[in-house]
Amino acid sequence: MSHPIDVVVTGLGATTPLGGDAPTTWAAALAGESGARPFENDWVEKYGLPVTFAATIKVTPDEVLPRPEIKRMDPSAQYAIIAAREAWADAGSPEVDGERLGAVVSSGIGGIWTTLDGWDTLREKGARRILPMTVPMLMPNSPSAYVSLEFGAKAGAHALVSACASGAEAIGYGVEMIRTGRADVVIAGGTEATIHPMPIAAFAASRTLSLRNDDPTGASRPYDTDRDGFVIGEGAGVVVLESAAHAAARGARVYGRIAGVGLSADGYHITSPEPSGDGQIRAMNSALAESGVAASDIVHVNAHATSTVVGDLIEARSVRGVLGEDSDHVALSATKSMTGHLLGGAGALETIFTVLALHDRQAPPTINVENPDPELVLDLVRDKPRALPEGDIAAINNSFGFGGHNVALVVTSA
Amino acid sequence: MAHSEQEILAGLAEIVSEETGLPTDSVLPEKSFTDDLDIDSLSMMTIVTLAEEKFDVRIPDDEVKNLVTVGDAVSFIAGASKA
């Protein structure tokens, strides 16, 4: 049985390694482009970074935002505000009472550029040179707060933090705000700006990054036998969520609906996913139960699949565990092969991809899979997009995070 | 090193312009930071911090409330940088 309050998606916005907006990003994803590029700086020589590339943002904020905004926002908030403005305009700038408008924008890591720049300033110049905006820029709720300020969202401004599941969890919480009657419209998404040498060194230290330095665009290869870790990315994805009744009353265009939200925790290990996939399965099952969608209606899964040796296969087995034989007709896409891993932005960007896949009836490709892992038990969309069926169709977007956070969203066509 | 009042005004105008987006030629000595340039207390403290570094002076916190206009700030910095 589906939830009595239907939540639809009426606006999309993104700034990513593939493009400065959602349509450009989506077109590049359908074309199978990679956003990974070598660093254009001295980090490798200076700090001995073992990784020499990342999926950096395609359109930098200084090309888009006025100087004073650049100076008062951490890059993570800059990306979020760029994506939120696009999503809001895309939704037709809905007329809504501020007390019925929410903002839920998450970051997995927060304003780490600001934190580390502040530390550098303190050590080089002393306390007197630390700028007064440092705290409002580094706090992890800063992107959410700026979105709330910009659009007058007064129903609540939230920033749920669950590492690489943060962006999906934000959208899930936005859905709940509407379903519990706290808001009619919610601006929800995720953002991350972590391409700084310290976090890159730290991710490399945890042995989770791909070291394929001689082939940056081929490095992110989920489900390929030679995958060796994820490619760090950056950027933001933001959607406008709306109760179906509110959207219908204003004649809004509806891209699709977020029909079910499933949340769970592994309670197992701080970084490793629980091997049986129990937590992932529980998240997907509860999202399906809330959505009222039958397993047989799922035609597409946007996998979390970061291109790590262990994680990709656990997820594939979990999907099969949930859908059983119905997984035979599921088109599985691992879009991090193109975007890199946006960490706290990933779940939001991949929700946008999932919504657009159903809307445009095209599952995006997974690139770089030369030799599919023989243990992969699902049908992977490789190299070119695949047509999805007409009629009412549904998909699952999975997002998992360090700490054992599992978020599954069931998306349905409009 | 001491700066002329003209140099200080030009330097301060650059800082204010970066912070507010206002053109530098609108940052004139008679303008009030709060009433004319719409600068809030957090922005004012940012401007003070950047001005201290740029002109190598110290602007004590309890002096900031006396800096009502751009001209007040220019005079204070000129006086402080001579000392």
Tens of pLDDT, residue by residue over A243-294, are 999 999 999 999 999 999 999 999 999 999 999 999 999 999 999 999 999 9
Q: HSE, CB side, 13 Å, CA atoms: give it for residue A78.
A: 26
Q: Which of residues 6-65 of B touch A (CB under 8 A)?
A: 18-21, 42, 45-46, 49-50, 52-53, 58
Judged against a pLDDT cut of 90, whether residue B1 lies above it is answered with: no
- Stretch A80-102: mean pLDDT, rounded? 98
Residues A139 and A232 in one domain: yes
- Is residue A55 within 8 A of residue A37, CB to CB? The reply is yes
Residue B76 sits in which domain range?
A: 5-82
Residues A89 and A221 in one domain: yes
Judged against a pLDDT cut of 60, whether residue B66 lies above it is answered with: yes
- C-alpha to C-alpha distances, A1 to A182, A254, A344, nearest whole angstrom: 22, 22, 31
Interface size between A and B, measured as CB pairs under 8 A: 27
- Stretch A40-52: mean pLDDT, rounded? 97
Catalytic residue among A91, A164, A177, A332: A164
* Nearest CA among A102, A90, A213, A199 for reference residue A147: A102
| CATH number of residue A104's parent domain | 3.40.47.10
Model confidence at A2, pLDDT cuts 50, 70, 90, reads confident
What's B28's DSSP letter?
A: -
Indicate the number of domains in chain A.
2
Contacts of B50 in chain A (CB under 8 A): 131
Residue A159 sits in which domain range?
A: 7-249
Is residue A256 in a domain? no
Residues A69 and A153 in one domain: yes
Is residue A344 in a domain? yes
Residue A130 sits at the chain B interface (C-beta within 8 Å): yes
- The residue type of A373 is D
- Stretch B59-83: mean pLDDT, rounded? 93
Q: Give the per-residue pLDDT at A279.
A: 98
| Angle, CA B14 vertex, CA B10 and CA B16 arms, to 5° | 115
- Proportion of chain A above pLDDT 70, given as a percent: 100
Mean predicted lDDT score pLDDT of chain A:
97
- Pick from A65, A71, A122 the residue to mutate for testing the B interface (most B CBs within 10 Å): A71
Residues A340 and A368 in one domain: yes
Residues A49 and A159 in one domain: yes
Told to judge if A53 belongs to the known catalytic residues of this protein, a careful annotator would answer no
Model confidence at B3, pLDDT cuts 50, 70, 90, reads confident
Owner of token pair 């932005």: A345
- Is residue A402 within 8 A of residue A163, CB to CB? The reply is yes
Verify whether the Cβ–Cβ distance A68 to B20 is below 8 Å: yes
Residues A180 and A273 in one domain: no
Could you tell me whether strands A37-38 and A405-413 are parallel, antiparallel, or unpaired per DSSP bridges?
Answer: unpaired
Q: Give the per-residue pLDDT at A274.
A: 96
Contacts of A133 in chain B (CB under 8 A): 42, 46
Residue from the list B21, B42, B53 with its beta carbon closest to the beta carbon of A133: B42
Judged against a pLDDT cut of 80, whether residue B81 lies above it is answered with: yes
Is residue A26 in a domain? yes
Residues A106 and A162 in one domain: yes
Nearest CA in chain A to B56: A129
Q: Give the per-residue pLDDT at A296.
A: 95
Nearest CA in chain B to A125: B53
Is residue A32 in a domain? yes
Contacts of B58 in chain A (CB under 8 A): 128
What token pair was written down for A279? 């937590």
SS3 of residue B82 by DSSP: helix
Is residue A2 in a domain? no
Q: Hey, which residues does A190 pair with through a beta bridge?
A: A106, A237
Question: For chain A, what is the radius of gyration of the CA atoms?
Answer: 20
What's B69's DSSP letter?
A: B
- Minimal CA separation from B19 to chain A, in Å: 5
Length of chain A: 414
Judged against a pLDDT cut of 90, whether residue A3 lies above it is answered with: no
Q: Which residues contact A148 (CB under 8 A, 6 or more apart)?
A: A103, A154, A157
Q: How many CB atoms lie within 10 A of CB A167?
A: 38
Residues A190 and A316 in one domain: no
On the 0-12 / 13-18 / 19+ scale of CB atoms within 10 A, A188 is buried
Helix H, strand E, coil C: the string for chain A is CCCCCCEEEEEEEEEECCECCHHHHHHHHHCCCCCCEECCCCHHHHHCCCCCEEECCCCCHHHCCCHHHHHHCCHHHHHHHHHHHHHHHHCCCCCCCHHHEEEEEEECCCCHHHHHHHHHHHHHHCHHHCCCCHHHHHCCCHHHHHHHHHHCCCCEEECCCCHHHHHHHHHHHHHHHHHCCCCCEEEEEEEECCCCHHHHHHHHHCCCECCCCCCHHHCCCCCECCCCCECEECEEEEEEEEEHHHHHHCCCCCCEEEEEEEEEECCCCCCCCCCCCHHHHHHHHHHHHHHCCCHHHEEEEECCCCCCHHHHHHHHHHHHHHHHHHHHHCEEECCHHHHCECHHHHHHHHHHHHHHHHHHCEECCECCCCCECCCCCCEECECCCEECCCCCCEEEEEEEECCCEEEEEEEEEC
- Pick from B14, B19, B57 the residue to mutate for testing the A interface (most A CBs within 10 Å): B19
Domain closes at, from A216, A249, A282: A249
Model confidence at A1, pLDDT cuts 50, 70, 90, reads low
Verify whether the Cβ–Cβ distance A130 to B50 is below 8 Å: no
SS3 of residue B32 by DSSP: strand
Residues A225 and A359 in one domain: no
Q: Hey, which residues does A106 pair with through a beta bridge?
A: A190
Is residue A254 in a domain? no
Rounded to an integer, what distance in angstroms lies between the CA atom of residue A103 and that of residue A147? 6
Q: Which residues contact A309 (CB under 8 A, 6 or more apart)?
A: A227, A228, A229
Q: Which of residues 53-72 of A touch B (CB under 8 A)?
A: 66-68, 71
Rounded to an integer, what distance in angstroms lies between the CA atom of residue B47 and that of residue B24? 14
- Minimal CA separation from B44 to chain A, in Å: 9
Indicate the number of domains in chain B.
1
Note whether ipTM > 0.95 here.
no
- Proportion of chain A above pLDDT 90, given as a percent: 99
- Is residue A58 within 8 A of residue A20, CB to CB? The reply is yes
